[in-house]
Amino acid sequence: MKQVRAWLRMTATGGDYPAPTSEADYLAHLNLIDAALPTHGGQLEADGTWTTFSLWESDEFCQALPGIARAAGHAYLPVLNPGHGTVGEKLMAVLDADQSVWEASTDQVVAMATETRFDAPWDGVIYDSIGFSRPTVPDYIERHQQFLTMMSNKVRAAGLSFGLASHGQDLDYFTADLDLGLVAEIADTFDYYFMRYRAQPPSICPYWWIVRELEAALSAGMAPSQMYLGIPNFAAYYPDGTQDLAEMHTVTHAQAVQIVGENSASIQWIEDTDDGLYLQWSAQWDNTTMWISDGDTVRPRLGLADYYGLPGMMLAMPGMGDESIWRTIADWKRPASKPTDRFYQSPNWCA
C-alpha cells in the first residue's frame, strides 16, 4: 500500500502571509494518511537535554493528536529538532561534551518515546538532521555521525524505528554533514523533502533536479525501501527579484492565487527550460517569479515513487496546499488505478 506521511505544522506562523496549522487538513484527510509526524518532538538544549514545547501542554489538538493518529491507524513519529532555525550552537555544545552527555541525551530520547512523555509510546523517532548553519569544526561530521549512531542503536533496541529527515536543501549540502552510506545503516527511513532549488531561476524543486538528487542518494547506498520523497504543497516567491533564500516568501495556494490577481499576473505551466523539465506552474510580474504547487505538479513526483519502488511520500505542512493535491494523492493510492496522465511518466522522460 502506498503511504503518505504527514509532517504536521503544530503552530501557525505569522509574517506577511500567515501560515495555518495542519490540524484541519490532517483531520479532513485521515483516510489518505499513514503516519503523523508532529514537528514538536523535542528541542535539543546545550546540555544535551530535550525540552518539550509548551504547546503540548496548552493546545487541545496537540493533546488529542496521539489518540487521533492511533484511532486512524497512523504511525505516530514525533520529530526531534537539533537546532532548526539556529546557527547550531546548542548541537555543537553537545558534540563538544564528553560521552556521558551523549549517553544521557540519547537515553532521554528513548525515555520520551517509551514512558515519560504524555504521548508515549511513540512508534518511532524522526531526527530532523538539518536547519542550522554548520559550525567550522574539523571533526564535526564524525562527532555528529557518532552521536546519531548511538541514538539509532538505543531507539532500535527499544523496539522503535529510527528515521532521519532532510528538507530545504540539496544533497550536496546534506552530505557535508552526514555520509549517506552511514544513513543507510542507521536509519529505517529517510524523509528527503526537496524544498528549494538554488539555481536560477529559483524554484520549488524542478522535476529534473529531484530525479538527479534521488538517483545520487540511491547510488550512495540508500535503499528504495528507506526513501520518502517530499510532496511540495505550497507556493513560494522572492520579493522584488531578490535571490536570497532568507527573503523567500512561502505562501498557501489560496494566498498565491490572491497575490497573482493583485498583481494582474497570470499563472502559466512551465514544462521545461534549458536545464530540463520543471513541470510547475509559475506567475511573473515586475521582477518577481512565483512557483505554485497543485495536483498537476505533485502527480509526476508520485510517479517517481512508483518508478523507483519507494514506499511512499511525505507531505510537509498539510494546510498549505490546494485540495487538488489530495485528489491526486487519492488517485495515486487507489490500488486499481492505472494512471495515463502525460505528467505521470518515468524519469527517462527528462533525459
The answer to whether residue 53 sits within a structural domain is yes
The answer to whether residue 269 sits within a structural domain is no
Burial class (CB in 10 A: 0-12, 13-18, 19+), 205: buried
Query: H-type helices in 281-346, by residue range?
Result: 295-308, 323-333
Q: Which helix (H) or strand (E) holds 159?
A: none
The answer to whether residue 185 sits within a structural domain is yes
CATH of the domain at 93: 3.20.20.80
Q: Is the pTM of this model over 0.85?
A: yes
Q: Are 51 and 4 in contact (CB under 8 A)?
A: no
Cα distance from N-terminal residue to C-terminal residue, the chain = 29
The answer to whether residue 252 sits within a structural domain is no
Phi and psi, residue 135, nearest 5°: -65, 150
Structural domains in the chain (count): 1
Q: Which helix (H) or strand (E) holds 253?
A: helix 253-262
Q: How far apart are CA 194 and CA 188, in angstroms?
A: 19
Q: Return per-residue pLDDT of the chain as tens, 351 residues.
A: 799 999 998 888 877 888 899 999 999 999 999 999 998 899 999 999 999 887 776 788 989 999 999 999 999 999 999 986 666 788 889 999 999 999 999 999 999 999 999 899 999 999 997 644 455 555 777 888 899 999 999 999 999 999 999 865 666 666 666 788 899 999 999 998 765 555 555 677 888 888 888 888 898 899 999 999 998 898 988 777 666 666 778 899 999 999 999 999 999 999 888 878 888 899 999 888 899 999 999 999 999 999 999 999 999 889 999 999 999 999 999 876 655 555 555 555 444
Domain enclosing residue 300, as ranges: 3-235+293-350
The answer to whether residue 301 sits within a structural domain is yes
The answer to whether residue 265 sits within a structural domain is no
The answer to whether residue 258 sits within a structural domain is no
Could you tell me which residues come within 8 angstroms of residue 98 by beta carbon, excluding any fewer than 6 positions away?
Answer: none
The answer to whether residue 68 sits within a structural domain is yes
